[in-house]
Structure 1
Amino acid sequence: MTSTIPVRGAPPGATAPPGRSRAGRRPNRTSLRMLGLNAVAVAIGLAVWAGLARAGVEGLPGPLAVADRGWDLIESGTLLEDTAASLRRVFIGFLLGSLLAVPVGFLMGWYVTARGLIEPYVQFFRTIPPLAIIPLAIVLLGIGETPKIFVITLAAFLSSVISTFQGVVSVDKTLINAARVLGAGDGVTFRRVVVPASSPFILVGMRIGLGSAWATLVAAELIAAQQGVGYRMQQAQLYYDLPTIFVGLITIGVLGLIMDRILLLVERRLTRWQERR
């Protein structure tokens, strides 16, 4: 039987078509409002930036100068090559760090023995900035792609593993006990209860890990890189080429934002069961 919804203010007996409730329309309105606010925020930021440049802030290039420099780099192919190199390093490092962080976080959260053995090392390395590992990475791994990816992987791993661990230990014990009362073993309970319940924490940790990977990129490309957005920014610094530095900053920010939005869409699809505001 198809349920009907009374229409407010309509004649008695009038109903709304199925699937057209106010609750169903709210997410679309909220999304449109957020897009509008995002556009306003970008416009305000560009206006402030242009105003500061016009006011004569020392060395600050305006949006048009940065756009012209960006177009020159695109036409020459330099920006596309640098972007491809940086994306490859970030993607590989982020993927490796996340794939390692999720099982380690699950082990720490599910098994007390594993937590006691692993947590001291995780907490120890969390206090050491990944950038401080660069000299050691160069000595042990050389100056090729391996040390760059290693440093990015470490940054993504340390940002994600704690979130995964916290997600496992935060699972409602009532759900676990209910599954066991119904006859589920540890494997089934872990797979059918713990993993879904901790997935929001895992995905948030992955988003944080992605940010850490991008934040580490510029320093990682200090290691004898010949291409990359961070490498291009460092070269521009030597010649006081501020427009190129701004192009690099905007490129990293836009790429990071796009990848974060993709992760956010995945999070919403995998956590539809979770109540949202």
Structure 2
Amino acid sequence: MSVIDDIDIERPKTRRWSPGNLGWGVLSFAGGIGLWWLATLAGLSELPSPAAVLRRAVELALDGQLWGDMYASLRRVLIGFALGSVLAVPVGFLMGWYRIARAVIDPWIQFFRVIPPLAIIPLAIVTMGIDETPKIFVIFLAAFLSAVVSTYQGVVSVDRTYINAARVLGANDGTIFARVVIPASTPFILVGFRIGLGSAWATVVAAELIAAQSGLGFRMQQAQLYYDLPTIFVSLVAIGVLGLIMDRIVVRIEERLTHWQERV
């Protein structure tokens, strides 16, 4: 038995969402809804009550309109986010590993980062038409820019000590990249995915407000014309729930892939 085997090493905790954490989260949501209900009951706000929003949600769900809008928005987000993330990872690795690639690509990344994807929507509609292509493109752009920067930052943040140690042990560049750089960059990549998801949902709602015939953003625009606040709230809640579920999925994937990382 080695000396290391005799040492009691505290293993990193990998569970972020224990039953206790879930209970606090549910309690937090319940408290927020309670405050909302009290504000409307006391006449302190012109917002619809939670009961009115729930009734409207049931009506929209029963006639199928809510499910259709959720499917349309979710489909656009998933396609644009998947395309943007898949392309961002190799581009980010390329920028971080090769200085020439960084010098060539980074100015373009920074140029498009300062241009809000919402500002590109009119140009995308004019050049790509009014079908699904421009909506998916702007979502792709928002997700790509978030993920590529995080991936690049993950590569350049790898501790040089690990790379030098691998070289001393005889590892070539391919082995170092696969066994050192990629694992060390994974937490950064997944953080970029989470940020990209938020950008994707914000972008799809804006795109549907401008040019769409379905989707949660489109439904909010139509409800605005008739001052239908319960329908607007139903769409907002649906976006929040879908976004939260997708974020929790990415968090669970992160916990699986980075179980070796120490956590607070």
Which consecutive aligned stretches of 4+ in structure 1 deviate over 2 angstroms post-superposition? 26-30
Q: Which has the higher contact order (CA 8 A, sep 6+)?
A: 2
Preserved CA contact (<8 Å) 2:15 2:255: no
Matching of residue 146 in structure 1 with residue 165 in structure 2: no
Q: Which residue of 2 aligns with 1:232?
A: 219
Give the C-alpha shift of residue 222 in structure 1.
3.0
Give the C-alpha shift of residue 28 in structure 1.
7.2
Residue 52 of structure 1, aligned match among 22, 34, 39: 39
Q: Which residue of 2 aligns with 1:136?
A: 123
Residues 27, 204 of structure 1: alpha-carbon distance in 2 compared, 3 angstrom cutoff: closer
Preserved CA contact (<8 Å) 2:14 2:259: no
Q: Which residue of 2 aligns with 1:71?
A: 58
Matching of residue 164 in structure 1 with residue 151 in structure 2: yes
In structure 2, runs of 5+ residues without a counterpart are 2-9
1:166-181 aligned at under 5 Å gives the runs 166-181=153-168
Preserved CA contact (<8 Å) 2:113 2:145: yes
Mapped to 1, the partners of 2:115 and 2:86 lie a distance apart of 21
Q: Which residue of 2 aligns with 1:39?
A: 26
Q: Which residue of 2 aligns with 1:7?
A: none
Residues 29, 162 of structure 1: alpha-carbon distance in 2 compared, 3 angstrom cutoff: closer
Preserved CA contact (<8 Å) 2:92 2:148: yes
Matching of residue 183 in structure 1 with residue 170 in structure 2: yes
Matching of residue 202 in structure 1 with residue 189 in structure 2: yes
Q: Which residue of 2 aligns with 1:220?
A: 207
Give the C-alpha shift of residue 208 in structure 1.
0.6
Give the C-alpha shift of residue 59 in structure 1.
2.8
Preserved CA contact (<8 Å) 2:39 2:45: no
Give the C-alpha shift of residue 29 in structure 1.
10
Moved more, 71-80 or 220-229: 220-229
One-letter code aligned to 2:172: G
TM-score between both structures, scaled by the size of structure 1: 0.89
Q: Which residue of 2 aligns with 1:101?
A: 88
Give the C-alpha shift of residue 27 in structure 1.
7.0
CA root-mean-square deviation: 1.8
Task: Determine helix, strand or coil for the equivalent of 2:209.
Answer: coil
Q: Which residue of 2 aligns with 1:13?
A: none
Give the C-alpha shift of residue 58 in structure 1.
4.6
One-letter code aligned to 1:203: L
Task: Determine helix, strand or coil for the equivalent of 1:274.
Answer: coil
Mapped to 2, the partners of 1:228 and 1:179 lie a distance apart of 51
One-letter code aligned to 2:161: T
Matching of residue 80 in structure 1 with residue 52 in structure 2: no
Mapped to 2, the partners of 1:128 and 1:147 lie a distance apart of 16
Give the C-alpha shift of residue 30 in structure 1.
7.0
TM-score between both structures, scaled by the size of structure 2: 0.93
Q: Which residue of 1 aligns with 2:4?
A: none
Mapped to 2, the partners of 1:30 and 1:270 lie a distance apart of 16
Matching of residue 251 in structure 1 with residue 238 in structure 2: yes
Name the % identity.
67
Mapped to 2, the partners of 1:104 and 1:115 lie a distance apart of 9
Give the C-alpha shift of residue 158 in structure 1.
1.0
In structure 1, runs of 5+ residues without a counterpart are 2-22
Moved more, 46-55 or 62-71: 46-55
Preserved CA contact (<8 Å) 1:148 1:223: no
Preserved CA contact (<8 Å) 1:130 1:216: yes
Residues 68, 100 of structure 1: alpha-carbon distance in 2 compared, 3 angstrom cutoff: same
Task: Determine helix, strand or coil for the equivalent of 1:222.
Answer: helix
Give the C-alpha shift of residue 56 in structure 1.
1.6
